[in-house]
Amino acid sequence: MPRRAVTRTAKLATLPLGFAGRTALGFGKRTIGRPAEAVALEVQRRTAEQLFSVLGELKGGAMKVGQLLSIFEAGLPEEVAAPFRASLTRLQEAAPPMPAATTHEVLAEGLGEDWRDRFAEFDDRPAAAASIGQVHKAVWHDGRTVAVKVQYPGAADALMSDFNQISRLSRVITPLFPGVEVKPVVADLKRRLQKELDYVDEARAQTAFHDAYAGDPDFVVPAVVAQSGNVLVTEWLDGTPLAKVIAGGTQEERDRAGLLLFRFLLSGPSRCEMIHIDPHPGNFRLLDDGRLGVLDFGGAAHVPDELQWSIGRLLRIGTLGDPDAIVDALWEEGFLAPDAEVDPEEVAALVTPHAAPFAVDRFRYTREWMREQTSRGLGLAADMRPGALARQFRLPPQYLAVSRALAGGGGVLCQLEAEGDYRAEAERWLPGFADDDGPDLDDQTEATA
């Protein structure tokens, strides 16, 4: 991992320079008669190519942002989405591994100089390389096959340096994802990544999920075997990566994977008061027995009972489509500025399409549907006149992590083009969706007694 701040900053600095050049080129082409839409698509395509080229060289926080942005590719025009997906694949597959000697140093610092005694076998070749570390396949001393996650030396300093730079480059990334407020998402990602660097916290979260889903017929969460320093050892998990299901899975596999992914995101808060907020395809495996394996719990977030109910209530109101009720609920939860003056019909027209998957018994997530939502968001974001609807909306802090998880999950469902009864999942796992009366503390007390 390139660690010198001046080197990383210089590479990231090429992004706004390249974007400025492409924008100037686009303006020039418009003046000689090329349609504005065609020019915009060309700028998007070239920006995606350069963005992922630079992010891939840097790994770290830069690569993490690339993974996050990949979730939203389903909302891009296909002319841009195809090279975008190709660039991301290169980004994920081209990350060079650490030298074996460096890996051994990290293992010795974490597990002790006698770290080899803990393993019956250890493969020096990494099985996978991620944004802040790499994973090795090994056999624990008791015979269990395990995954050994080893953090890159200097990852913390490099990551924070990246985010300080990337947060200033949101205007470069924003044109790729019209309607998505990239800057606050990147800021939240920075806070979450600080937690993700802490393998103690990740081990604690993974253990909570493992205990909550032990013996589950639908899910497998590998157990934590050992953790110390910048080393995390968990049970190994085989299966088909979700990226391969997206690329070439049958419709049955797509539907199964999509429903299970959605079920896992919604059931986590109910079962252990936590939600997995990093739902990019690399963190999921479809097992041969039909279960969904889940990896990487470094970004898990706490979701208390009250927030679970509020999420369900907002979703239910969205499906009913009552403009006044929608506006009242958004005001109550802090999604609208206190002094906002909005047209309820205009707000409802924006909100209700997002609730469409939960208003019917069966719904198919598609890239076309995602593009419609993205286009609607672009229209909203483009209207920055005083009093425009875009200026009235807010994202309350307590919803940031959940919004990231659900938006990311929706993006993956669109990549899968999965069909299922998502309304039934909302009724099962979100108390506010099935019951709009609010949490009854007396009933909870009686049930506990």
Q: Where are the beta strands (DSSP E) in 179-323?
A: 219-220, 224-228, 231-235, 240-241, 274-275, 284-286, 292-294, 301-302
Cβ-contact 292, 284 below 8 angstroms? yes
Does residue 272 lie within any of the structural domains? Answer: yes
Question: What residues form DSSP beta bridges with 292?
Answer: 219, 286
Cβ-contact 261, 413 below 8 angstroms? yes
Does residue 365 lie within any of the structural domains? Answer: yes
Does residue 250 lie within any of the structural domains? Answer: yes
296 backbone φψ class: left, alpha, beta (φ>0; ψ -120 to 50)? left
Does residue 181 lie within any of the structural domains? Answer: no
Q: Cα dihedral sign for 343, 347, 352, 355?
A: negative
Does residue 443 lie within any of the structural domains? Answer: no
3-state SS, residue 128:
strand
**Segments of the chain with pLDDT less than 70:** 1-96, 130-131, 162-189, 376-387, 390, 435-449
Does residue 23 lie within any of the structural domains? Answer: no
**Per-residue model confidence (pLDDT) at position 166:** 60
Does residue 292 lie within any of the structural domains? Answer: yes
Q: For the chain, how many structural domains are there in total?
A: 1
pTM over 0.75, yes/no:
yes
Does residue 422 lie within any of the structural domains? Answer: yes
Helix axes 60-70, 5-31, angle to 10 degrees: 40
Q: What is the extent of the structural domain holding 285?
A: 239-437
